[in-house]
């Protein structure tokens, strides 16, 4: 159970270096501190790479500039605004579902639109959520998104 001590780890086999305390599971399944990971080895290679006695070395770190999809900013057209209210009538304040109406809008843009509309036109938003609210049925869903293919559903 747990990671072997640093001096037993095969560096040549590609195993990662352990630079700090390690957690492991005991026989009962409890998370415990691996006491052997607290001992600092006498070898120079066991020392942390960030020694204070020399200049800081540049580490190779991959930049994740494209890690998150960034939706380009865009103005809401009158048609998109009307579709937004239609989505509110169907899905209520579940903005994740409202977002399914808009493939080119991010969750942040949908939330921002909701907050702006609520601030500018609270009566219109309230009507869409109460009096004008529509029940989401299979027929309504298929009308908007196309026929549901049930051939692959579990039976």
- Sign, Cα dihedral of 80, 86, 95, 143: negative
Distance between alpha carbon 62 and the CA centroid of its chain, in Å? Answer: 19
DSSP assignment string, 95-151: HHHHGGG-TT--HHHHHHHHHHHHHH-HHHHHHHHTTT-----HHHHHHHH-----T
- Tally DSSP H helices, then E strands, for the chain: 5, 2
Task: For residue 153, give both structure tokens.
Answer: 């559903």
Residue 69 φ/ψ, nearest 5 degrees:
-70, 120
Residue 86: burial class (beta carbons within 10 Å; 0-12, 13-18, 19+)? middle
**pTM for the structure as a whole:** 0.51
Q: How far apart are CA 40 and CA 43, in angstroms?
A: 9
Looking at the DSSP bridge assignments, the partners of residue 4 are none
Cβ atoms of residues 78 and 68 within 8 Å:
no
What pLDDT was estimated at residue 50? 47
What pLDDT was estimated at residue 17? 67
Mark the ranges of the chain whose per-residue pLDDT is less than 70. Answer: 1-18, 40-69
The 10 Å Cβ neighbour count of residue 5 is: 16
């Amino acid at each position: 159970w747990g990671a072997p001590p640093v001096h037993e780890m095969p560096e040549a086999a590609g195993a990662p270096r352990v630079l700090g305390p390690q957690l492991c599971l005991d026989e009962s399944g409890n998370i415990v501190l691996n006491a052997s990971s607290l001992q600092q080895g006498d070898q120079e290679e066991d020392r942390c790479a960030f020694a204070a006695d020399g200049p800081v070395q540049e580490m190779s770190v991959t930049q994740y500039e494209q890690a998150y999809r960034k939706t380009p900013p865009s103005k809401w057209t009158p048609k998109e605004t009307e579709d937004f209210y239609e989505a509110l009538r169907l899905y209520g304040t579940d903005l994740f579902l409202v977002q399914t109406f808009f493939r080119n809008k991010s969750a942040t843009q949908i939330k921002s639109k909701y907050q702006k509309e609520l601030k500018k036109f609270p009566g219109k938003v309230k009507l869409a959520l109460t009096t004008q609210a529509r029940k989401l049925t299979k027929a309504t869903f298929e009308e908007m998104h196309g026929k549901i293919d049930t051939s692959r559903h579990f039976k």
